[in-house]
Structure 1
Amino acid sequence: MVVVNKTSVELNHFILKKLLRVRKANKNDLNEIYGIACSVGSSEKVSEQGFLVDDYRSNPKFYKKKLLKGINSLDHFYVAEYDKIYGFMMTYTKEQWLADNPDWLTEVYWRPDFDKSKLDNFVVVDKTAIKADLTGQGIGSLIYTRLLSDLKSEGIHNIFAETIISPQPNFASLQFRKKQKYSLAGMRYEDYNNNLYTDLIYHKKVE
């Protein structure tokens, strides 16, 4: 039996190396997922920590409904769990993404040298959220490893992800793209909630 002091800094690394498991989300996870979303998705955006665009605390009923829809419909909605949930990732198939974002392919300003044959079959990593005080500990990478494994088995070879650089840059997300060896594929402008965002579009080949 392992006994640890759960308030210690060492627990973070201990969980990651020995105890944390990644699994697909289910409806019973909703409240914990929502709590994590609130911890990094609020009115205060911290570039170095990373953030979600929406203020999840502003309308709990609305955002819980959106998250539950994702849990029930997405093939690649994962949570990282030990004694509780520490992070989650929402990933859309091409069909699911274009159903919600029908003009996405034409809205993106693709790099001239980008091979558009990679758009034949892909997924889009939409949201990756780690509990605010545990960002940078490798939890996102563990979830990502599970995603890659599942995509390989399903024959999906391309991943896209968006990172906001304006009006406030998400430095943590940019660093994660670099860590996971994404390459810049394009950019787009997004008018969302009366704000104009600039998103960099990153691509990674699943090998």
Structure 2
Amino acid sequence: MVIARNPQEETYLEVLRTLRTEEQNLLIDRLKALSEQPAPRDSALDALIGQPLAPAEKVKLEIETLTQYFHYRRHLLACALTASQVAKRLGTSRQTPHDRVKARTLLGVLDNGVVKFPSWQFDPASSEGVIPGLPDVLKALQVSDFAKLSWLTHPQPVFEGQTPIERLKAGDVDRVVQEARAVGVV
């Protein structure tokens, strides 16, 4: 299950997702500089959570976390298609994939200023060109497009370790839609 984030975190993540490699490196440099500044101390907080991390440890963890996030994102979008490729696959105009993302009948994720479409969602045997039930699931998911991608492609305990996509392909549309409605709900 995807953990719900507050709106501020979602906005921060959306901005991070759009950064080019050079911008990511600049952000890392700025985080290093900020983390080296001493923070005000709170003895009650110290008593609760223990000793704070040394600046170097904090920087290392922040960089590792950002690096893991960028690798994870690249991994999920490695086999994604462009709008032109999707249009050719579906036999439509180049604008149609973008319209379908807005209508939440196709999943597209903004990556370096370009909308990318995960290739696993397409099904040439389906009348809509996507896995049956996927549009219903996309409409039920009330999270960011990247969170949708992450949830759909990761094994979920409620599906006995299968991914929601695997369950959709098996015809378990109603159950996947039901679970999708609960994603991000605290």
Question: Which TM-score band (shorter chain)?
Answer: under 0.3
* TM-score normalised over the length of structure 1: 0.23
Q: Which has the larger radius of gyration?
A: 2
**TM-score calculated relative to the size of structure 2:** 0.25
**Structure richer in strand, relative to its length:** 1
